[in-house]
Amino acid sequence: MKKICLFLVTLVFLSLYLMGCSNKSEDVKVKESFLKSGSDDSNYVELTKINDYIWVHTTYANYNGSRTPSNGVIAVSSKGLVLVDTPWNNPQTKELIKFSKSVFKKDIVLAIITHAHEDRIGGIDTLIENKVDVRSTSLTVKEAEKNGFKKPVPELDSEPKITFGNINIEVFYPGEGHTVDNITVWFQQYKVLFGGCLIKSLDASDIGNIADVNVKRWPDSVKKVLEKYADAEVVIPGHGKWGSLDLLNHTLELVSK
């Protein structure tokens, strides 16, 4: 009788455990591949699925007279959401925080800033107000201060690899290019590379904003990324459509002219 009772108790606990695991898995899976929120570009946000755990967030701003999209990443982990780069400004970032919480049922807990231009760091005030752990490199801290933005924590110099819940993240500084401080972000188990503004989309016909560019060193920096992440299956640029490693080769063509 005791053995039967023990077996039944074990069976109940096992069932509850499996149900808990099932619910944990289900809460990050979103059926839709494209979602949007906001009334106009001042607070409009798009979310596009790469896979169940990696999403691109896209916002728009009027840049040099054109409606310009800017991409970042939201990674869904067991410890919460990881944000790579903010939208252009604080209102868009507030919308992204609210929208991503409603979609994924998780808070943005960690943020990585890939360089100190407004399309990467423009919403940092909102992140800090929401007690998000905002990290970058010491170079980006200096550039952020110079450009009038609040400073992220410069932890990525000494800790370029981050294990956050079930997600492994690696940041890489290949050298100067689009800016003095541009870094890339690698999601190893998903073979997804966020190239940021160091990498151009296939429809880009020029190198874009040249205010802080180092044209001489840009090709070498891209080559380092291409060599390090030759197994990348998805490459996400700072602006425009994502794709394969072809984006890195296209960028090399643009910056080598």
Catalytic positions, please? Answer: 115, 117, 119, 178, 209
Let me know how long the chain is: 257
Q: How many whole angstroms separate alpha carbon 121 and alpha carbon 141?
A: 11
CA dist 152 → 112, 116, 142, 177, 222 (Å): 9, 10, 10, 21, 25
Q: How many whole angstroms separate alpha carbon 133 and alpha carbon 55?
A: 19
- Which residues lie closer than 8 Å to 31 by C-beta, 6 or more apart? none
For the record, the structure tokens of 29 come out as: 């899976």
Backbone φ, ψ for residue 173 (5° rounding): -105, 105
Backbone φ, ψ for residue 239 (5° rounding): -140, 140
Q: What is the DSSP letter of 150?
A: P
Task: Give, in degrees to the nearest 5, the angle at Cα 56 between 51 and 60.
Answer: 155
Asked whether 111 and 82 are in contact (CB, 8 A), the reply is: yes
